[in-house]
Amino acid sequence: MDRRNFLKALALTGATLTIKQSGAVTLMTQHFNAASAPAANAYDLVAVMGGEPVAMFRKGIAEMGGMAKFVKKGYKVVVKPNIGWDKKPELAGDTNPDLVAEIIRQCIKAGAKEVIVFDHTCDDWRKCYANSGIEAAAKAAGAKVLPAHEESYYRTVSLPKGKNLKSAKIHEAILDSDVWINVPVLKNHGGAKMSISMKNHMGIVWDRGFFHSHDLQQCIADICTLEKAAVLNVVDAYRLIKTNGPRGKSEADVVLSKGLFISQDIVAVDTAATSFFNQVRDMPLESVGHIAKAQAHNLGTMDIDKLNVKKIKM
């Protein structure tokens, strides 16, 4: 299904979006219908609506075939959330800590030898790690939390498929892992228009200044040509920032949207998440240029109709 039809499907969901604007609260109620089921565990994209982060992930990953399909015994795994901002979880600047913890637990249950969490933050990394709740949640779930604030943590890799970005310094935790899981939070972004799975790659890179000076949209698509692609993209849409992203200013910028999207196709999952965001604030897909540019790199499809999609209402 294309973006328009996917949006119509989501408009039938039954999920409740709580929108806070100037102190007022508006409820947008939809009704979510399940797609016709393909063969068991053959889904390319799973969308879960209306639950709490842990419960939604459990439902979603089960429909994807279970974590053991992606994480094998003895694997060294990186779980890469967005921890870019010194914000409490209620302000949605960072990935939900409960979701991060559940992904870690499931990796360990699947047999992971080690799970590492990090992000190259925008605000002071110590404050981001602590005040987002992610550091404590990740450690309690059994992960190691690593810093990413020094250039010595990064190694240069070639990006032969990149158009503008031909190489980048990538955090060694990604390069040394067996697999990594990309866990962005869905939000508006002033420059990139949307910050989702592709934009979350900027947190594994040392020099983000190059992106901003050499066509941000193209560089976001280029970094996603990294040979070691994320084995899963898990989009946290439990709360989203609809305005003043990516940092947000106050709770007035935040929507309690109670959604989650999971896919190995980074183009499809960001297309679906953008369509979902459109229910809160108009965001034409064509304005999010890095999605089409990533499709041009053959990193996935924006045509969701080509995929087996499972929609779950909790």
Q: Phi, psi (5° rounding) for residue 69?
A: -70, -25
Parallel, antiparallel or unpaired: strands 254-263 and 24-29: unpaired
Q: How far is CA 74 from the centre of its chain?
A: 25
| Mean local confidence (pLDDT), 261-268 | 98
Q: What is the pLDDT of residue 33?
A: 33
| Mean local confidence (pLDDT), 234-261 | 96
Q: What is the pLDDT of residue 8?
A: 52
pTM score above 0.75: yes
Q: Structurally, how many domains does the chain consist of?
A: 1
Q: How far is CA 72 from the centre of its chain?
A: 22
CATH number at residue 42: 3.40.50.11440
Q: Kindly report the average pLDDT of the chain as a whole number.
A: 90
DSSP, residue by residue, 250-262: SGGGEEEEEEEEE
Nearest C-alpha neighbor of 268 from the set 11, 13, 43, 16: 43
Considering only residues 265 and 9, tell me which one the structure prediction assigns the higher pLDDT. 265
Place of tokens 């609506």: 49
> Model confidence at 42, in pLDDT bands (50, 70, 90)?
confident
Q: Is the pLDDT of residue 194 over 90?
A: yes
Residue 133, phi-psi category: left (phi > 0), alpha (psi -120 to 50), beta (remainder) = left
Interval 3-34: pLDDT, tens: 555 545 554 344 444 433 333 333 333 323 33
**C-alpha span between 283 and 99 (Å, rounded):** 26
Q: Which helix (H) or strand (E) holds 175?
A: helix 172-175
Q: What is the pLDDT of residue 29?
A: 33
Calculate the dihedral angle through the C-alpha atoms of 196, 163, 207, 167, rounding to the nearest 10 degrees.
120
SS3 81: strand
Q: How many CA atoms are closer than 13 Å to the CA of 12, on its beta-carbon side?
A: 8
Rounded percentage of the chain residues whose pLDDT exceeds 70: 87
Look up the domain containing 194 and give its range.
Answer: 3-313
Interval 113-127: pLDDT, tens: 999 999 999 999 999
Q: At what angle do helices 289-296 and 216-223 cross, to 10 degrees?
A: 40
Considering only residues 221 and 26, tell me which one the structure prediction assigns the higher pLDDT. 221
Rounded percentage of the chain residues whose pLDDT exceeds 90: 85
